[in-house]
Chain A
Amino acid sequence: MVKTLSRHNHPYIPNSQPEIKQEMLQEIGIKSIDELYADIPEKYQLRKSLNLPEALSEFEVKRHVEALLSKNKTCSDMSVFLGAGCWPHYVPVVVKEIVQRSEFLTAYTPYQPEISQGMLQALFEYQSIICELTGMDVANCSMYDWASALGEAARMAVRVTGRNELLIPKIIHPERAATLNVYAEPARIKTQQIAYDRETGQISLEDLKNKLSNKTAAVYIENPSYLGFIETQVNEISNEAHAHGALVIVGVDPTSLGILKPPGDYGADIAIGEAQPLGNPMNFGGPLLGIFACRDDMNLIRQIPGRIIGLTTTTDGSKQGFCMTLQTREQHIRREKATSNICSNEALCAVASAVYMALLGPQGFRKLGEAIMYKANYAMHLLSKIDGVKAPVFKSAHFKEFTVNFDGTKSRVEEVHRKLLLKHQIHGGKNLSLEFPELGETALYCVTEIHSKEEIERLAEALEKILAR
């Protein structure tokens, strides 16, 4: 009777025990489970086995997966200087402890608020802290990532303004730009890139002015930029955009906001960004955590995509509590008229971020920003001393990431990185030579608070050795 252990009495399937099954079939009044599938046309009933693995015991699963994963080399096995949309930062142990709480981990979306106050309050706190950090008034409780948040922000700007053109910087992450295109194209949004100053990387105000018109729905800028420098003409950009009736969308790396001016202070109508660095591990690029915030303006708030948690009271007025708000924007009520189709988001990552941000507080955020900027600048300082190496390429202040150009060494990025990895167990930055051919043999390096002085010095020494002729 018992064919295999995997089929009957599986630990995840309590009623797979044959006697229980029998009792239940009897109660229903049928002889076999097949009767419950009788309405599936015979020709579609799967009568063969599929090419799937043999079931394993828990121990075997663990051994198998661990063996596979041990083929990966991690940031502890080698120094990794990669960023570009996903960054190595330390995740305090408390954060992991909280997000492993099964009351959070195994809950669904808090559609029944009375029994989900914990998740709702934690998400309200996430939203609130994001607002304080970015200088905005309202935040949703997450988007999938920065790239999709940009796509949604573009569509929102078009709905709010009734215009359909978007200006974005020429210096932007290509995956983010590609995602934007995919979100924008079906909505017939036209995207144009604004040129940058070759010397500083800063947005060309002249090009911006030329391209701004009464068709511009929004101007999008990033701070720090994709290539790591701080965009400084923020007030001019924002004033120009607003003068043309366009919205200003700002993308941020929130780890900079303890020391850098928040987008709300320079006229952002919508702020987006990536909150993975705030308490979420890299996980090979996912899950990430898209930030989405806006000003307290009903014209904007009504058009926000995604879930928003709000404060309310009990119906008897006796107590405060939390629940999902403005659900009439969302797909389960508004269907084809919804502001977006997003429902499941990255809620647990948002809780992780709330815990992280609460641990850091204002002092911690300042220190985090300082530690990153000091160390990144120290790396630039050492690397730029190497003969033929230019770090950074642009004459602007840099925060966490910076460009390293090897043109003067006659070496190619690919070759340098191969030697770094094979001979020195160091992983270099992202190769930009195909993305930005105008920058020559250039890579994007990233240094955060987790990189020690010794690691940075080892990088510089290794590069020096590799590049020595």
Chain B
Amino acid sequence: MYKQASWNEPVIFNIGRSGRVGHILPKVEDEIKIAIGDLKTAIPENMQRATQPNLPELSEAEVTRHFIRLSEMNYGVDSGFYPLGSCTMKYNPKINENLASLPAINMIHPYQDESTVQGILEILYKLERWLAEITGTYEVCLQPAAGAHGEFLGTLLMRAYHKFKGENEKRTEVIVPDSAHGTNPASATMAGFNVVVVPSDDDGCVSLGALKAAVSERTAGLMLTNPNTLGIFEKNIDEIARIVHEAGGLLYYDGANLNPILCKTRPGDMGFDIVHINIHKTFSTPHGGGGPGAGPVGVSKELARFLPVPRIVFDGKHYHFDYDRPDSIGKIRSFYGNVAVLLRAYAYILSLGFEGLKEVAEISVLNANYLVKKLKEIRGLTLPYNTEKPRKHECVFSAKTLKNETGVSALNIAKRLLDHGIHAPTIYFPMIVDEALMIEPTETVEKEELDHFAEVMQKICEEAYTNPEIVLKAPHNTAVPRLDEVKASHPRTMTLSWRMYQKRKGKDL
């Protein structure tokens, strides 16, 4: 069975010795010191740091060992199967890492003269074109740093569009389905909209009746994930688009689930006006334990004028930045985007081409439906919503029966999976499924691993009936056993930094 390293690695402030150094900085030549004199006289007295910061003092070797040990207590896609639903934890090709660490990308400054950065501009320009082609949109902006940042931009574009049409005062509502990612309502709110939630119907798709009732002259747009978070394709997309557009709203595509439709169908063709793409999901760039990602946004021709500046343009010979966009919303961040991440996506698309990307989509769907078939047979698990409908890249099972019969919940299953060296699925999401286990295998996993996963799930559910304690108390094989997450957020015990820890020392933790 799996066994994760369990170093009792102290917090870094508790290692090292006073006076030790981990890195030597380039020297300052004596001539410079003589010319400038004592810095104490150069820095205004009231702005000098009075006491040195309380930082750890370690040798280079100590720092290396500390962080290597920490890395050994972490689990990534390279460690094993990672069926985390909605997160598309596919394999991150190594060639892309290699390219992203070249000095020719690491050591260029964003304000360098255009003549000195033609290579990277060409890459970004072409990537924009490819992503526009894949999503069926007119123009793509690479700037958002993450999916949610892309959503923020997308909803700001809705705002700009309605303002341009003189309707911003009345278009105050953004509609989201009850199965939507939490970022959708949060993004719409950030962009100043009120959120209207529409329920899903019995087959897990947006209820057309409810949608018709929800749209009005207040509707700014609808945010939709398709396939949705149940992994089901919104078959009425035609009708949905018609309802929203006829009401004067825009249709927003949440790209979290783009993987299964790559080169199979395109959001732009389905009528979506705004599309965000999660580069770190669909285009294989590593998640880095929570980022950096990239969340480009594609838009229809009508909306292109509102995109943030600068736009990258090509005059047939050279690439340039174009800041002259009078209707642009402005900036949502500094510079041009998470370029090192985007470069990896460029290489990924090159490695696959059209046929390869189509294969990515198809196999991700094949893998998910294969798991549906296998997991459906397991006692205690059910597949809510239309069981006969094919899923796309992911499926959502419910452990409600298991919980009722044994007390073992989706959370317990998740923790027990860790003991087997398998990362847990997304749990308790979407909220319309009780005891949800949201499973996304991706196309990069082999059949043997899928079979193994199904066997382990079977075994855990059997344990739930025969020896529930072992599941209820899982995990046993990870760096630490079950953690108290409630304590971590309780005002009395909350410890968010070493400073707070020092202050609260001696008190209960």
Contacts and interface: CB of A to CB of B under 8 A. Distances in A.
B102 interface: yes
Interface string A77-115: 010101011101011101011111111111111111111
B418 interface: yes
Interface string B54-65: 111110100110
Interface string A323-354: 11111101111111110111111111101001
A56 B335 contact: no
B145 interface: yes
B111 to A, nearest CB: 5
Contact of A175 (B67, B233, B335, B354): B335
A114 B35 CA distance: 55
Contacts of B493: 312
Given A13-B360, A283-B105, A364-B21, 7 more contacts: A65-B350, A117-B73, A124-B11, A131-B498, A138-B500, A282-B106, A341-B183
A213 interface: no
Interface in B119-172: 119-120, 122-123, 129-130, 133-134, 145-149, 151-152, 156, 159
A295 to B, nearest CB: 11
B55 to A, nearest CB: 5
A14 B95 contact: no
Nearest to B25: A367
Interface in A133-171: 133, 137-139, 141-142, 144-148, 155
A194 interface: no
Contacts of B146: 144, 342-345
Contacts of B31: 453
Nearest to A362: B52
Interface string B62-101: 0110111111111111110010100101111101011101
A296 B500 CA distance: 8
Interface stretch (A30-38, A204-212, A214-222, A240-248): A30-38
A362 B55 contact: yes
A114 B479 contact: yes
B60 A107 contact: no
B76 A96 contact: no
Contact of B120 (A8, A64, A72, A374): A72
B334 A112 contact: no
A335 B500 contact: no
B183 A115 contact: no
Interface stretch (A375-383, A386-394, A401-409, A461-469): A375-383
A103 B79 contact: yes
Interface stretch (B242-250, B288-296, B457-465): B288-296
Q: Which of A88, A107, A333 has the most CB of B within 10 A?
A: A107
Contacts of A322: 483
A39 B355 contact: no
A29 B373 CA distance: 9
A41 B102 CA distance: 44
A362 B145 contact: no
Nearest to A45: B265
Contacts of A365: 52-53, 55
Interface in A223-252: 223, 230, 232, 234-235
Interface stretch (B186-194, B206-214, B297-305, B396-404): B186-194
Interface string A293-324: 00010100100000111111111101111111
A283 B340 contact: yes
B355 A121 contact: no
Interface in B370-389: 370, 372-374, 389
B48 interface: yes
B439 interface: no
B337 to A, nearest CB: 5
B509 A108 contact: no
A118 B148 CA distance: 25
18 contacts: A15-B445, A44-B238, A73-B116, A88-B109, A94-B23, A103-B74, A106-B77, A115-B4, A128-B13, A261-B46, A282-B106, A301-B494, A313-B484, A322-B483, A347-B291, A351-B67, A371-B25, A421-B115
A45 B136 CA distance: 12
A27 interface: yes
Contact of B478 (A13, A115, A182): A115
A324 B494 CA distance: 11
Nearest to A54: B353
Nearest to B64: A94
A179 B191 contact: no
Q: Which of B67, B87, B110 has the most CB of A within 10 A?
A: B67
B106 A281 contact: yes
Interface residues of B, number: 211
A36 B289 contact: no
B198 interface: no
B68 A82 contact: no
Given A75-B109, A261-B46, A41 B238 contact: yes
B292 A326 contact: no
A259 B48 contact: yes
Interface in B328-377: 329-341, 343, 346-347, 349-360, 362-363, 365-367, 369-370, 372-374
Given A313-B509, A360-B22, A257 B49 contact: yes
B28 A370 contact: yes
Given A116-B74, A284-B108, A173 B53 contact: no
Please give me the 9 A-B residue pairs with the lowest Cβ-Cβ distance, nearest first: A285-B335, A285-B110, A186-B192, A348-B288, A55-B353, A106-B76, A347-B290, A118-B74, A71-B119
Interface string A183-210: 1011110000000000000000000000
Contacts of B496: 127, 137-139, 301, 308-311, 325
B466 interface: no
B48 A328 contact: no
Nearest to B415: A114
A197 B52 CA distance: 31
Contact of A284 (B286, B339, B347, B488): B339
A336 B195 CA distance: 7
A241 B1 CA distance: 60
Interface in A426-453: 427, 430, 449-450, 452-453
Contact of A182 (B89, B156, B491): B156
A125 interface: yes
Given A139-B497, A345-B291, A108 B483 contact: no
A98 B489 contact: no
A10 B356 contact: yes
B52 A258 contact: yes
Contacts of A381: 35-36
Contacts of A49: 354
A75 B107 CA distance: 6
Contacts of A260: 43, 47-49
Nearest to A152: B190
A270 interface: no
Contacts of A122: 67, 70, 289
A1 interface: no
